[in-house]
Amino acid sequence: MVPALAAQLPENDSALVADARRGSEGAFEELYRRFHSRIYALALRMTRDFGEAEESVQEVFLAAWRSLDAFRGESAFGTWLHAIAIRSLVSRHRRTVRRAEETIEGDVARLRVVLPETSIDLERAIGRLPDGARAVLLLHDVHGHKCREIAGMLGIAVGTVKSQLHRARRLVEEALQS
C-alpha cells in the first residue's frame, strides 16, 4: 500500500467499513489485509488444500464486498466476515460432495459395461455400501486417487479414508460371495 494512503486510513474496522461502503477500495483492501490470514487459516483447515483455500478466501471477500451494505455493525466486522466464510465453505463442501456423488453414479454405470456378467451383483453390492464407504471405494479403486487426495476431497481424515476403503472392499466381497 502507498504510505500516504495508509496514513489516511482509519485504525478501527468500523471506520474502514464505513469508508468501504462509500466506495473506498483502499479501505476494503485494508480490511482484506487485516482479515486475510484469519479467513485463509479457516479455509485451509476446512478444505485441507492450499489452492482451494485461497479460492475460498477470494469467494468470501467477494461476497463480503457485495453484501457490505448488509453489515449492521451489531457484531465486529471480523465476526460477520467469519460467518460469511463458514457459510461459503460449507456450501463449497456440499458442492464438492454432490459432484463426487454424481461421479460415483457414473462410475457404477461404467462398471456395468466393463463387467457385464457380474454387473448386477456388483452394482447391488456397491449400491448397498454406506455413502462414505461407497465414495471412498470408487474414488480410490475406480478413479485411482490416493487416500490423501480423497481425504481432501471429502473433508475427512486419511485414517478414515483407509478404514472406509477396507470396510467397503470387505462388504463388496462378502456380498459377491453370498
pLDDT for residue 58: 96
pLDDT for residue 3: 43
pLDDT for residue 110: 55
For residue 114, give the C-alpha cell: 466393463
> Do 3-93 and 115-177 agree at the fold level?
no
pTM above threshold 0.85: no
At 60, which amino acid appears?
Answer: V
Nearest Cα to 3, choosing from 36, 34, 35, 26?
A: 26
What are the structural domain ranges in the chain?
A: 3-93, 115-177
Q: What is the mean pLDDT of each run of 10 residues along the chain (178 residues)?
A: 43 87 93 95 84 93 94 88 88 73 62 51 80 83 82 85 91 81
What is the Cα gyration radius of the chain? 23
Measured between alpha carbons, how far is 44 from 85 in angstroms, rounded to an integer? 12
* Residue 82 parent element (H or E): helix 77-114
CATH code of 115-177, in short, is 1.10.10.10
For residue 22, give the C-alpha cell: 462509500
Domain 3-93 listed as CATH 2.40.50.140: no
